[in-house]
Structure 1
Amino acid sequence: MMPPLFDGSRLFHVPPGLAFPEAFARGLAARLRGRPPLDAARIEVLVPSARAATLVDRALAAHLGPDALLPAVRVVGALADHPAAPVLPPAVSPLRRMLRLSELVRAFLDRRPEIAPPSARFALAEALAALLDELQAAGLGPDALDRIDVAQHARHWQTTRDFVGIIADHWPAILAEEEGGALDPEAREARALEGIAARWSARPPDHPVIVAGSTGSRPLTARLMALVAGLPQGALVLPGFDSWLDPAMHQRLGPDHPQAAMAALLGRIGADPAAVAPWDAAAPCPERNRLISLALQPAPVTDRWLDAAPALAEILPAATAGLALVEAPGRRQEALAVALMMRETLERPGATVALITPDRQLARAVTAALARWDLVPDDSAGRPLGQTPPGIFLRLVARLAGGPPAAGALIELAKHPLCGGEGAARREHMRRTASLELFLRRNAIPLADPGAIRRWAAGRPAQAGAWAAWICDAIAPLAQPGALEVSAAAARLRGVAEALAAGPGGDPGRLWRREDGAAALELVSELAQAAGTGAMLEPAELARLLDELMAARNVPPADPARPPDPRLRILGNREARLETADRVILGGLTEGVWPALPGADPWLSRPMRRELGLAAPERGIGLAAHDFATAIGAPEVIVTRAARIDGVPALPSRWLVRLENLLLGCGEAGARALEGMRARGREWLRLAARLDRPAAPVPPAPRP
């Protein structure tokens, strides 16, 4: 057995403001110093995501040395692949599950058309799949819905219960009989955890097992962390733990508090919050962490602010020294100011900057503003597949299905850069397209059917006739009416798209080049392999299905001519849990954006969720609050928000309101600190405004 790695407590935390992978690797390397090299290889580390595994692996290699044996880093969400897990049936493909559920939804809507239009079946199927995952992550099966006594709820919930009953009444049988006994992904992970727990209970691992970087917000993860905490050499390393929070307060935290998930985890394993020890270095700005901890205390105990104000006033200069608050008039000014901050960071040798925001509109606006300096940020979210050139092209092709295409739709498709081949063939294609468009518009022809295209070609050179024959032949399969099985519809879509992209005699594979093309091909191939699901698509439904699927898939920008600058990063909340930068910009701090308000649950009311033991909708606000509290702990932070969005007044984020109220309650010291933050923010707005201001007034021209 490996000698114990930990003395005393096996509960640790990394404070807000530190990059978790670096801090974890540094702390583990310090504990391994002086030990045999094989000890490192015997350690097992469980992290929350594949991205986290990559970053932790990289950090461990840097701190342990390039020739060192590294710990085994595994992903919490892939327990079925763990060596201690039992052999399990495969997981059902998410796409196959959605298609099968969509057929169940279609059958239900045929009987109850008043519930939703048929066009909503794919969105409803996705929502049912999400509900199924949530139930199974909480250790509940589809039959748990039978526990709900709808007589105790409003009458319309009976209709909803009947609809949700689809997964309880039909789904288990479909998995067993038609999917070869496959399991839902969450159910498979739950069974893997049960097998691991049974094996470890009988024979605990003789090596350290560390769960690092997870808050235990998911029920399945919390069960795993409780299991590891009970092992002889098990340890937990919590990210962004608030060591300033009164341990007695942990019992009073609501689901919207940043520490709610970890408080529930500590309660589950019976641990005292005061026993959670530092893993590595101290926080880069402990004074700011103290300030944020107070600002985000539960509302019922904010009277403690009065008691804390005198001591807090003494640390406010240090807490707010590296903090700026930008209150822009609108989103455009906010984006321009953020872009200027990122550009200015590059003036410091080797410095890095990260914009952290859940607001994709702001992220795109900042990317566009950086283009004035020919800069491309490294955007971790990438772009939705449907907004890439191959994605747009496939969606345009799908919209032609079901009959003669509208003239405008065909011309829009023909003008797409991926249509008509390359080089000279593409130039010739564009000339023919322009001529055809002029003919259709001049003659007010609404449908670009083969007859209309041939009438355009009549009397023109033979090359025009050949081009007309090519485009008519290419799109002809789409005109066939009637529903198709989804795999046949996907095969037809691929054939037409490749023919149009190749042009007369060109390369059909040009559509799938680059990373976005490969992602589009992967999606079409998955659809083509979905045979046997029983899902039928009417011609118009193919476009809707593509829209649903492509919106959920992101691909990184892939322009070899303009590679992203690694020093400029745009991170979503999830990615920011693992990274930090020399300058951190928290953008979009507007109520309803960050945090996003919990949406209305179409399936279960709040009492129903409580009845089933599911998390409250505010759980997402608590996770977002934890992301905010962790990110704002960096040494240099700029917080931005827009006073108006799309012409409508926007409220500041609840966390900013709390922070401002706390500062104003600290007397003159707090007011001075808040004004200093705002003054630093106004300077960025002033500089951004100068970018578009002419150097000197331009006198009117004396004549046109």
Structure 2
Amino acid sequence: MVSDPNIFGAGASKAWSIPPGENFLKALATELAHAVNLSGNPDALADATIYVPNRRSARELSAALYLAANETPILSPDIRAMGDLESDEAPPVAEISETDLPPAVTSATRLGNLAALVQAYYRNSSGMDVPPSSALAAANELARLLDQAHLSAEADWSGLPDLVKEADLAQHWENSAKFLEIITTAWPAFLKEQGAADPLERRLLAAEATANAWQSAMPQAPVIIAGSTGATPSGRALMKAALQLPKGLVVFPGLDRDVSEEQRLAILSEIGHPQNALMSTLQDLKLDPGDVAEWPRSQANPHRYARRRMIMEALAPADATADWRDTLDQLAASAETDVATFARQALDGLSLIEAPDEPAEASAISLIMRETLEVEGRTAALVTPDAGLARRVSALLKRWNINVPPSAGIPVGRTAAGSFVGLCAKWAVDPGDPVLMMSVLSHELAAPVEGLADLELYFLRGPRRWRSLAELVESIRLRDTIEPYPQFKSDHQIAAIDLVQNLISHFDHARADLSQLQDVTGAEAIERIAALSEAVSETPMPWAGEDGAATSRLLEFVRDVSGSLGPMKPSALADLVNAQAAQMTVSFGEAEHPQLSIWGPLEARLQTADRVILAGLNEDVWPKRPAADAFLPRHFRARLGLGDPEERMGLAAHDFAQLACAPDVTLVYSARRNDAPAVASRWVWRLKTLAEGALGKDAAAHLAPTVFDPVDLVEALKNDGVDSLPDFNAEPTPSARPEGWPKRLSATRVDLLQRDPYALWCEQVLGLSTVDALNDDLGPAPRGTAIHRALELFEEDGRPKTSEQLMALLRQELLRVGEPADAWAAREAVWQRTVDWFLVWRSQRDTSGGRLKQEVRGRIDYEVGGHAFTLSATADRIERTAVGDLVIVDFKTGNPPRDKEVATGLSQQMPLQALIAQKGGYEGVPAARVDQLHYVAFKAKPDAFSLGGKHSLPTEPVEMAVIAEEGLLRLIEAYREPSAQFLSAPRVKFVKYDNGYNLLARRAEWAGDTEDGEAGDV
């Protein structure tokens, strides 16, 4: 029983607890101000020292003290950040300056030297050279294990070798024990040699030194440890010392003071329990829960009490709880009410939202936060460990010109400067890579480059035909020998060559072409990457601003880490730059919104708001499962005195409980994450189970949002306007085109008009043309063109008609259009079989009627519906037999159409070629009877056949030509009708592949067919 209401009064408790759901910092500041009469005595706390978990808490407490002093100027106490268990907060610095402690090694030095020790271990044990990336990955795991050991007061590695022998484990674990000598023996020896300490080890030494200093000269001013669970040895050391001081206080966050002795022992045995860390701390401090007083003037009412009891029960591990009915009876009895009333009181102000997916979750949260601003002065805070969700909500709020930056910052790699330098690091490894080149030169920080768009369109798209920038120059010179895109001009070549030559000079000046180096030191590579970044960026980019400064620190970190590893492959160093950029975060120092906040769980400690939104509540997001231990079996950890990874689950549960007990709380989770079904957090499941056990079918209504359902509103906004258009169909049905169109079509385009009219309309009416992707695979069209070109060259006079000659021509033409050399090598045997088959086929051809023609252009003109129309075609090969008849040969690299497909009228290329030949439309080929329409499939399984005689298709090409002509004229006349619509692939089963306009037609939206086939035409 506290005899004096003043927290510093005679007989007052030294240990206090502020209940969950309270505004911790406000309550702390208010009572401190009252205890020392701060408003009338502005320097009353000037000599006080207050420890809080992190720097954000320190800033907020300073502001809260100012408000508690009636907004009068005060001399602020010394508010220090202890450092969260999961954070990278530095240890208290003021007391370190007064002690003779070794300096802490930097994180870069530690990581780099651990990686070097990993490499040395493998080199000495097996003679194997471990790549730097693998060594760094192992070093990260070792660093994590070192931290866990320093956070475990009883950790003792000395028994590890004997433990492995006793356990009679597999050889794998024996090897792991030897490997761990890196941190049990080699690392301590390194620290001793350097006269340094591990960061967390130094934190504990600092805390112990501070405690000893307090004992030697006890401070008479208040010393307060506030908001810490005592989860770290350094924190407990300060707590023990503070309890011995005249005005020393420990203020716990959300301690359950009402647990029985039996419950306390049970909690101590359940490391995942939200109260486990607190109970363990009390045990170490030799305190019972009853020894801890409730903070003066804490708000107490049935609703708050019920919420705290239910949340605490929902977060307890499942195997630590009794039957649900017994649990509810006990909870209701503790509140002196019935089960239903208890549940209604507990759920008052708490709502639960299930969003269908992550985008809907973010949209719903943004709407809740936007609605908060409808009440003047009302505050809201989103708390989530999902950084992606936090960024998405922040972006959505900008729709209403509301800027709420996530307090945790954003990864450096997502900033303008970080992404630019990361891309430059990759580009330096492969300067000729078109994707990296365009990513860098079109970046927002890059200096404007005249002619860049033309370089990309005409010379970088499609398969890569070069390795270096110098080879790219040669590729540009030869681009007109490969079928270029429309509007291609020779001026484009001149401008593009000048542009690439400038890039070469940039690389030469910065010495940044790392592709020429087998190995490079970190310092040398970082210098060259920085020089390249400066050379292609706008001055003073990319080092300006907060993100530029953070990027500079990033490069310094990588330089220091790699300095311990020695030379490494340039690609490994570029990967290291980008991997570290994804881990380091930066805050832009933007002003916080006065009413809205976005916090991570660490930033949210001791914080609150009028409305709290807890989101990302899916399993393995919140809470997140502990990472698997790569080196130790789990049961070894306890025997070595190491903490259990499940302790983090308990701390996460405690953080959640503190926030979930606020008066107005919304819990949000997604039914799907990463486009896959997701499971709600175990905390959500247990809370729902308790609610349903108490209220039955009414539980859902009590957990539903009270003001508006944001998910329903998101869906309504998404479908806004659709309901007013009941006949709306996303399928395009254009009909507009110039009078008399089409005026000219090739035989292949006639087939396209039948199979995919929309594609032809886009191509010829809208004037749109498809372009290849950067670094694209060699497409069927250029591959077919190359094969056809090889077959054409093979027939030239003077060339030997041998297998070796045709193979050489195929290789030459395929490599010229972009076939990778390794792809040719992999399929060379297949090509050889095809060539051998072709030579046999060729030897059997009857060309006695005259010299064969190749690549013969032809046309015939018509008058259709009062407008001229021209049919054109290019015959791959025309043979004349001894009797003067013609044989038209068409080469395909895929599957040629058979009689059935031609008989349907959808494959009229060959019959229309016969029509042109019979009318004398081919250049240099007099009109004659067409005897055969012959297909040759030049592919892995070659084939050759002539059309006719099956599936109602006439045997004679003459009759096929007559039918094709009648169909052609009907088709052109029909599509010249004003009412004709150009549909997207109306006969989809006859469309072999996407003609390039499916995305424009939004086929995936209204047709659902997204799979592409393969092209078959040469």
Whether TM-score is above 0.5 comes out as yes
Structure 2-normalised TM-score? 0.63
Matching residue's letter, 2:528: R
Pick closer, same or farther for the CA change 1:309–1:15 going to 2, 3 Å. Answer: closer
| 2-structure distance, mates of 1:80, 1:145 | 35
For 1:497, the equivalent position in structure 2 comes to 533
Q: 1:102 corresponds to which residue?
A: 115
Structure 2 partner of 1:89: 102
Aligned in 2, Cα 1:334/1:671: closer, same or farther, shift over 3 Å? same
- Are the structure 2 counterparts of residues 86 and 565 from structure 1 closer, same or farther at C-alpha, using a change threshold of 3 Å? closer
Cα contact 1:356–1:573 (8 A) shared by 2: yes
* Cα distance change, pair 490–314 in 1 and its aligned pair in 2 (3 A): same
- 2:573 aligns with one of 532, 535, 542: 542
Q: Secondary structure at the match of 2:405?
A: strand
Q: Which residue of 2 aligns with 1:295?
A: 314
2:259 and 2:289 in contact (8 A); partners too: no
CA distance in 2, matches of 1:474, 1:334: 46
Cα distance in 2 between the residues matched to 1:84 and 1:368: 43
* Aligned residue runs from structure 1 range 343-362, under 5 A: 343-362=370-389
How far did 1:260 drift?
Answer: 0.7
Give the Å deviation of 1:679. Answer: 6.0
Aligned to 1:261: 277
- Following TM superposition, by how much is the alpha carbon of 1:145 offset from its aligned partner in structure 2, in angstroms? 6.8
Quick one: distance in 2 between partners of 1:474 and 1:260?
60
Give the structure 1 partner of residue 701 of structure 2. Answer: 675
In the alignment, is residue 237 of structure 1 matched against residue 251 of structure 2?
yes
Deviation at 1:211, TM superposition (A): 0.4
Q: Is 2:359 the partner of 1:332? A: yes
| Cα distance between partner residues in 1 of 2:733 and 2:74 | 76
Aligned match of 2:79:
73
Which whole-Å CA distance do the structure 2 matches of 1:174 and 1:576 have between them?
Answer: 38
What's the offset of the Cα at 1:637?
0.9
For the residues of structure 2 that align with 1:170 and 1:495, how far apart are their CA atoms?
A: 37
The answer for the alignment partner of 1:21 in structure 2 is: 25
Q: Which one-letter code corresponds to 1:68 in the other structure?
A: I
Q: 2 CA distance for matches of 1:294 and 1:464?
A: 69
**Match status 1:307 vs 2:335:** no
Task: Please say if residues 414 and 433 of structure 1, whose CA atoms lie closer than 8 Å, have aligned partners that are also in contact.
Answer: no
Correspondence 1:105-504 to 2 at 5 A: 105-110=118-123, 111-112=125-126, 119-139=133-153, 144=158, 146=160, 149-153=163-167, 154-155=169-170, 156-177=172-193, 179=194, 181-246=195-260, 248-253=262-267, 254-283=270-299, 285-297=304-316, 299-303=319-323, 304-305=326-327, 306-309=329-332, 311=337, 312-402=339-429, 404-419=431-446, 421=447, 426=448, 429=449, 431-432=451-452, 434-435=454-455, 438-441=458-461, 444-453=464-473, 456=476, 467-476=499-508, 477=511, 478-479=513-514, 480-502=516-538
TM-aligned CA distance change 1:143 to 1:657, over 3 Å: closer
1:635 maps to: 663
Partner of residue 606, structure 2:
578
Count of aligned positions: 683
Task: Provide the C-alpha distance between the structure 2 equivalents of 1:289 and 1:149, rounded to a whole number of angstroms.
Answer: 43
SS, match of residue 536 in structure 1: coil
Which segment drifts farther, 159-168 or 642-651? 642-651
Which residue among 581, 588, 592 is the counterpart of 2:620?
592
Conserved in 2, the CA contact under 8 Å of 1:47 and 1:75? yes
User: For the structure 1 residues 606 and 318, does the alpha-carbon distance in structure 2 shift closer, same or farther, using more than 3 Å as the test?
Assistant: same
Distance 1:229 1:115, change over 3 A: farther
Equivalent pair of 2:111/2:561 in contact (CA under 8 Å):
no
Q: Secondary structure at the match of 2:503?
A: helix
- Larger CA deviation: 343-352 vs 259-268: 343-352
Q: Does 1:567 align with 2:595?
A: yes
- 3-state SS of the aligned residue for 2:598? strand
Deviation at 1:462, TM superposition (A): 8.3
Question: Do the aligned residues in 2 keep the contact of 1:457 with 1:464 (CA within 8 Å)?
Answer: no
Ranked by relative contact order (alpha carbons within 8 Å, sequence separation 6 or more), the top structure is 1
Query: What is the CA deviation profile of residues 85-127 of structure 1, one whole-angstrom value per residue up to 9, with x for unaligned ones?
Result: 4122221111111111112222334455999865322222122
Q: Could you list the runs of 5+ residues in structure 2 that have no partner in the other structure?
A: 1-6, 84-90, 479-489, 735-1018
- Give the structure 1 partner of residue 809 of structure 2: none
Aligned residue identity for 2:79 = V
| 1:664 CA displacement | 2.7
Structure 1 gaps of 5+ residues are none
Q: Which amino acid aligns with 1:377?
A: V
SS in 2 for 1:537: coil
State yes or no: 1:59 paired with 2:97. Answer: no
- Give me the whole-angstrom Cα distance separating, in 2, the residues matched to 1:282 and 1:148: 53
Relative to total residues, which structure has the larger helix share, 1 or 2?
1
Q: Check 1:671–1:462 CA distance in 2 against 1; reply closer, same or farther (3 A cut).
A: closer
**Hey, what does 1:659 align to over in structure 2?**
687
Structure 2 Cα separation of the partners of residues 565 and 36 of structure 1: 32
Distance change >3 Å, CA 189–CA 409, structure 1 → 2: same
Q: What amino acid is the match of 1:690? A: A
Native 8 Å contact 1:407 1:448 kept in 2: no
Q: Is residue 247–residue 274 contact of structure 1 (8 Å, CA) maintained in 2?
A: no
Aligned 8 A contact 1:142 1:167 in 2: no
Whole-Å separation in 2 of the counterparts to 1:590 and 1:455:
52
The residue type paired with residue 526 of structure 2 is A
Q: Is the 8 A contact 2:344 2:702 kept in 1?
A: no
Residue 692 (1) aligns with residue 718 (2): yes
Q: CA deviation at 1:144?
A: 4.3
**Most deviating of 11-20 and 624-633:** 11-20
* Partner Cα distance (1:107, 1:402) in 2: 27
> SS of the counterpart of 1:170?
helix
1:700–1:46 distance in 2 versus 1, CA, 3 Å: closer
Write the distance in 2 (CA, Å) between the matches of 1:517 and 1:314.
57
- 2-structure distance, mates of 1:328, 1:220: 41
Distance change (3 Å), C-alpha of 1:443 and 1:627 = closer
Displacement of 1:265 in angstroms is 0.6
Matched, 1:49 2:18: no
Residue aligned with 1:13, SS: strand
Q: Which residue of 589, 610, 632 corresponds with 1:604? A: 632
Partners of 2:671 and 2:284 in 1: CA distance: 42
**Distance in 1 between the 2:257 and 2:157 partners?**
41
Aligned residue in 2 for 1:644: 672
Q: 1:372 deviation in Å? A: 3.5
Shift of 1:318: 2.8
Report the secondary structure of 2:685's partner residue. Answer: helix
Per-residue CA shift, 1:123-176, capped at 9, x if unaligned? 221221121122223347885474662123422211222222212332233233
Q: 1: distance between equivalents of 2:279 and 2:477?
A: 73
The answer to which of 631-640 and 157-166 deviates more is 157-166
Separation (CA, whole Å) in 2 of partners of 1:372 and 1:39: 47
The code of the aligned residue for 1:241 comes to: L
The counterpart of 1:512, out of the listed 519, 540, 543, is: 543
Q: Which residues of 2 match residues 519-538 of structure 1 at below 5 A?
A: 519-528=550-559, 533=564, 535-538=566-569
Query: Equivalents in 2 of 1:182, 1:437: separation in Å?
Result: 57
How many percent identity over aligned positions? 33
Deviations 1:524-554 (A, max 9, x none): 2344466963543321111221133222211
User: Which has the larger displacement, 532-541 or 620-629?
Assistant: 532-541
Offset at residue 349 of structure 1 (A) = 1.2
